[in-house]
């Protein structure tokens, strides 16, 4: 028994016995350390306040799949998340903060860089210049490291939580983030709409050139009299009909993009006139496709590729018209 107690287990047991025999002293020491710390924290630590603002980031991958949606500009959710946490956005927020909020970020910082403080101490002892950041850089570091948190919710919302020693400063931080995000989102949507419009115009010009070339080829064959290759003529007629269909599709898409861009420039709500005009354009397109389908059914069988593609496009347009008009989600702040 004496040999067992002299081993490592015996040393642990002896230590536990000593602690148990002096439990009153251990309790007094713990209370003597914890009580002053708790009193100091309650009396001298400043209170902090939190302001929460919620924004909605639209993810196009959650929407319904449709060929008409390919012509509409849609934001990338991952790109928006990266922008939300970027240093450039934090710098823009600091530039737009009120002076009182800026002073709190600089003079009453919650983040302490002890590594930098130690490096500066060593630099001073060695006779070198310490590393000093500008007030704006310090405010950006404070904002990213201690004052702002982002929480993504399953519904697609992102909560912006701002912490400060004064409630007004917390509100200023959250509201300034919302304002800067709104200004950048409007600029990004305008750029996307402008790029989409240029792409559609280029595609429209190319389709018109192809259509003109096909019409000239058809007129040349018609002036030449009898054709030795009737199958080739039927193929060219089918290509001509397909080009006409593509031209009408592109014109409808261009009209929708123009109305969307006009609504963005004029600040109209997506549920106003531009939405009704777009649905009217889709209705006109549906009527034209139904007339085209009737003409194709007179010439070809129901299994012909042109008849199938036209029928599929009609079904898609009917589905789009039957759906209720959607409202673009916006940001809300709390």
**For 193-221, what is each residue's pLDDT tens digit?**
788 888 888 888 888 888 888 888 877 77
First to last CA, the chain: 70
Q: For residues 169 and 186, what is the distance between their CA atoms, to the nearest angstrom?
A: 26
- Residue-wise pLDDT for 258-308, tens only, equals 766 766 665 444 444 445 666 777 777 788 778 778 877 777 777 777 777
pLDDT at 59: 61
* Kind of pairing between the strands at 49-56 and 157-164: antiparallel
Residue 286 near residue 311 (C-beta atoms within 8 A): no
Mean pLDDT over 119-123 rounds to 87
3-state secondary structure of 321: helix
Residue 90 pLDDT > 60: yes
Q: Could you give phi then psi for residue 151, rounded to 5 degrees?
A: -125, 120
Q: For residues 248 and 204, what is the distance between their CA atoms, to the nearest angstrom?
A: 9
- Residue-wise pLDDT for 259-273, tens only, equals 667 666 654 444 444
Mean pLDDT over 163-180 rounds to 90
Per-residue burial over 246-276, b if 16 or more Cβ lie within 10 Å, else e, is: bbbbbbbbbbbbbbbbebbeeeeeeeeebbe
Q: For residues 215 and 211, what is the distance between their CA atoms, to the nearest angstrom?
A: 6
Furthest CA-CA distance within the chain: 123
Helix, strand, coil % over all residues of the chain, rounded to 5: 70, 5, 20
Q: For residues 97 and 178, what is the distance between their CA atoms, to the nearest angstrom?
A: 12
pLDDT at 192: 74
């Amino acid at each position: 028994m004496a040999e067992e107690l002299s081993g490592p287990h015996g040393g642990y047991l002896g230590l536990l016995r000593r602690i148990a025999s002096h439990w009153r002293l251990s309790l007094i020491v713990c209370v003597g350390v914890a009580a002053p710390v708790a009193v100091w924290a309650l009396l001298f630590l400043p209170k902090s306040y939190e302001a929460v603002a919620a924004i909605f980031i639209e993810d196009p991958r959650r929407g319904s799949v449709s060929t008409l949606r390919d012509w509409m500009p849609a934001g990338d959710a991952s790109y928006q998340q990266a922008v939300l946490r970027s240093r450039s956005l934090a710098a823009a927020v600091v530039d737009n903060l009120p002076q009182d909020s800026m002073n709190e970020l600089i003079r009453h910082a919650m983040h302490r860089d002890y590594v930098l403080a130690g490096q500066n101490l060593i630099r001073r002892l060695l006779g070198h210049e310490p590393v000093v950041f500008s007030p704006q850089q310090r405010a950006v570091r404070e904002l990213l490291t201690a004052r702002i948190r982002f929480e993504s919710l399953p519904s697609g919302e992102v909560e912006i939580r701002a912490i400060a020693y004064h409630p007004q400063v917390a509100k200023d931080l959250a509201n300034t983030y919302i304002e800067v995000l709104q200004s950048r989102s409007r600029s990004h949507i305008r750029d996307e709409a402008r790029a989409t419009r240029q792409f559609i115009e280029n595609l429209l010009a190319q389709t018109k050139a192809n259509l003109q070339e096909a019409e000239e080829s058809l007129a040349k064959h018609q002036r030449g009299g009898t054709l030795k290759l009737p199958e080739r003529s039927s193929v060219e007629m089918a290509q001509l009909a397909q080009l006409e269909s593509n031209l009408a599709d592109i014109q409808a898409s261009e009209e929708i993009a123009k109305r969307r861009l006009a609504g963005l420039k004029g600040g109209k709500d997506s549920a106003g006139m531009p939405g009704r005009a777009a649905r009217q354009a889709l209705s006109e397109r549906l009527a034209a496709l139904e007339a085209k389908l009737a003409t194709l059914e007179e010439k070809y069988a129901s299994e012909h590729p042109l008849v199938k593609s036209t029928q599929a496009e009609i079904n898609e347009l009917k589905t789009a018209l039957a759906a209720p008009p959607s409202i673009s989600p916006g940001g809300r702040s709390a």
